[in-house]
Chain A
Amino acid sequence: MERQEVIRLEHVTKRFGDKLVLEDIDLSVYEGDIIGYIGPNGAGKSTTVKMMLGLVDGYEGNILIFGENLKNQDHTYKKRIGYVPENAELYDSLTAQEYLAFIAGLYGLEEETAREKAHRLMMKFEIDHVMNARLSSFSKGMRQKVLIISSLLHNPDVLFLDEPLSGLDANSMLIVREILAQLSAQGKTIFYSSHIMDIVEKISNRIVLISDGHIAADGTFDELKEQNQKGSLQDIFNSLTGFSQHKEIAEDFVAIVQEELA
């Protein structure tokens, strides 16, 4: 079966003031892709995601989602997208139930359906007992679970995840990883950005590395290994971003920490 193109970036360039964040990016994403989107801090990962969501505009080039240019799109394409943002900011004076009902409502789900679905999903994550507790009393991991649920309530075709596993315990991570794998097997597209290389290595079936506003690498983990003659994604990441002095920096740092106080 021919896999359909879901997202396409054509010559996308983005500046913040004088600073060039992304330069002439071309990228095609197909259904069933789990893209691990990696790069150093400030390389433009979150910006890319936000542009595709329509949260950031003022770029050059074209972004096509589901074959249509974002510039002539209304908001309807967002119905088919789920998003877990980087900093788990949410209206935390609400209870989990109220928050999820609101999000589901924004996607046009009926109240009763949404309530029931949210409850069942929370049961699976073992957080249904705090359904009516305020989000402000939740731990980081519990908030993250709520966000993951909120991004999936409407059964989206494309998922944008920014550090989705942060704060989750090992078992929950395993569950989420499996969820992502199964979603992708059903033809959903997942765009996953993270700093944790081990996870990206295991989850993604395609890795895109961005550095200095350019795509420095694009391919499956095996392809990248072959091209770079390195054993792990961490090593590939270091070599492609031209970073090798982590030992020296660490030594200097520890030396400063251990300086005698006069």
Chain B
Amino acid sequence: MQIALTLGIFIGYQLVARSFQFTNLDWTFTPAWWQLFTPPVWFGALHEALLTGERSLFVLVLAAFAVVVPVIAMILYVKMIPAFESSLHKLSTVEQGKEKRTNRLKQAFLRFIAPNQAERNFMNFSFAMMKSEREFKLKVYPQVGFTFVIPFLFMFTNIENGSFEALREGSSYYLFYFTLLVIPTVLSMVKYSGAYKGSWIYAAMPLKDRVLIDRGLTKSVLVMFYLPAMLILGPVFIWIFSGRIWLDLVVIIATALLYAALCTLVLNGKNLPFSQPFSVAQHQEGIKAFMMMLVIGGFCLIHVLFNNWTFGLEIYLGILLVAILIVWTLGFRRIRVGQ
């Protein structure tokens, strides 16, 4: 619920800003149907209707919303207080919990990407943690949702300045690089947990190989956050830009694999996942994550360069694959349990 709220605010900002077209240093308001869903505009309309005497039907409807909706909301709230209370009560008592069906397909997929039992175990653990930790979800999910939207916001801007056809012919598909943003966003948070004291188990258990933790973690982040981005945005991009960009998308996805490993190494270092309290989350971390985000720009630039040559992309993809192999094996070896 809170997550939906935060995401709503993010997108709301964008929409409100877009209600006004910036022409000749003059903010002019252009009405559109979707403004019915943006409360700030309602109140703006109320202001317009009362003070400047604007009386067009659209403005009046919006103004009416500004009055009616809060009243309805208040009535609803009062009516629903008992329901809220019982939900609160439920939070503090033991829930039964639903039996989770084990999905064979998912099992097989996990087995495929993480053949090692210990590594797979860590993947399942981080899945469960990332799905259930309130604070983690609150900090990460809205931003992840936002990165899904960013490419399209840019595209809308482009369409406003040109035509949809021009966009399709153009090279806006590099916007797909924005999907990589989810990786540092998530990976900079995974070392924290509300129940960080539970991390004694790392020390008490027979952990053969630290590498398995880091690899399992990275893979789980990729599967949980990057795979959906690929599956949803990939087809949309193919639809917009046609099949000509398929190799570019493959290159970007390969970059994501390489980049995720680099992020784990840089952002997590020697920290074990879910082993630090949120309260120690430092400003410096944010800067590190931001630097990693700039790296995406670098990858994008290299991509553009290689794209200028014939077979440039194929060569670049080859280089990426080798780099992935090296970082995922040797790179992870370099961080070992420090204590």
Interface residues of A (CB under 8 A from B): 53-55, 74-79, 81, 83, 85, 87, 89-95, 97-98, 101-103, 105-108, 110-111, 129-134, 137-139, 142
Contacts and interface: CB of A to CB of B under 8 A. Distances in A.
Contacts of A102: 121, 124-125, 128
Contacts of B134: 93
B176 to A, nearest CB: 33
A205 B118 CA distance: 37
A105 B212 CA distance: 12
B274 interface: yes
B198 A91 contact: yes
Contact of B204 (A53, A105, A138): A53
B205 A106 contact: yes
B124 A105 contact: yes
15 contacts: A74-B208, A75-B206, A78-B204, A91-B274, A94-B128, A98-B124, A102-B121, A106-B206, A108-B118, A110-B117, A130-B94, A130-B96, A132-B97, A132-B98, A134-B97
Contacts of B194: 93
Contacts of B207: 75, 106
Contacts of A130: 94-97
B198 A92 contact: yes
A94 B132 contact: yes
B193 A91 contact: yes
B280 interface: no
B201 A134 contact: no
A67 to B, nearest CB: 18
A93 B132 contact: yes
Contacts of B129: 91, 93-94
Nearest to B206: A78
B205 A134 contact: no
B203 A53 contact: yes
Given A76-B206, A79-B206, A91-B195, A106 B118 contact: yes
Contacts of A75: 205-208
Looking at A87, A94, A97, the one whose CB has the most chain B CB atoms below 10 A away is A94
A87 B197 contact: yes
Given A93-B132, A101-B121, 10 more contacts: A75-B208, A89-B198, A90-B195, A93-B134, A94-B128, A105-B121, A132-B99, A137-B92, A137-B93, A138-B94
B109 to A, nearest CB: 14
A78 B128 contact: no
Given A75-B206, A79-B206, A94-B129, A106 B195 contact: no
Interface in B173-228: 193-195, 197-198, 200-201, 203-208
Nearest to B110: A111
Nearest to A87: B197
A93 B97 contact: no
Interface string B132-144: 1110000000000
A142 to B, nearest CB: 8
Contacts of A74: 208
Contacts of A134: 95, 97, 132
A98 B128 contact: yes
Contacts of A98: 124-125, 128, 132
A103 B95 contact: no
A77 B207 CA distance: 11
Contacts of A129: 96
Contacts of B117: 105, 108, 110
B135 to A, nearest CB: 9
Contacts of A79: 206
Contacts of B125: 98, 102, 105
A107 B205 contact: yes
B204 A55 contact: yes
A11 B255 CA distance: 55
Given A53-B203, A85-B200, A102-B125, A92 B95 contact: no
Nearest to A79: B206
Contacts of B124: 98, 101-102, 105, 111
A107 B208 CA distance: 10
B119 to A, nearest CB: 10
B132 A137 contact: no
A2 B118 CA distance: 37
A139 B92 CA distance: 11
